[in-house]
Amino acid sequence: MKKVSLPKGFLSSGGNPTINSIVMFMVYFKNLPQGVPYLVKGEPNMESVRKVRNHFRWNHDSGFDTMIKWGLIEGVSKSTTSNGRYEAMKTARVIAEHNIRNGVIVPMRMVS
């Protein structure tokens, strides 16, 4: 079965995060079970990943979990070809954390 990928430019463009990637992390963080820290070590919380998929109406198992993992765990991507996306996910995570600390509400479904 062919793995379905997110559309090109959906979460990053030119090594920069898109609004979708920032919203992705905001939805992920807002849906973590109580007591689970923002900076999860290891695999992403799959229930929160499911909430992200639902937010964007994405009905496939691929895409979001890897990008969330790249934003949460330092040094997880060793690929030079994916380095721009890796850096974009780290930046999106930081922006999302900042937004949540400052009371920014998760936007309704936004897609580009």
| Cβ atoms < 10 Å from Cβ of 13 | 15
- pTM value is 0.84
C-alpha span between 101 and 79 (Å, rounded): 32
Tell me the per-residue pLDDT of 36-89, one tens digit each, with 9 for 90 and over.
Answer: 766 555 778 888 999 999 999 888 777 888 888 888 877 655 666 678 888 999
C-alpha span between 88 and 10 (Å, rounded): 12
Tell me the per-residue pLDDT of 90-112, one tens digit each, with 9 for 90 and over.
Answer: 999 999 999 999 998 877 655 44
Q: How far is CA 65 from CA 3, 14, 50, 105, in A?
A: 13, 21, 9, 22
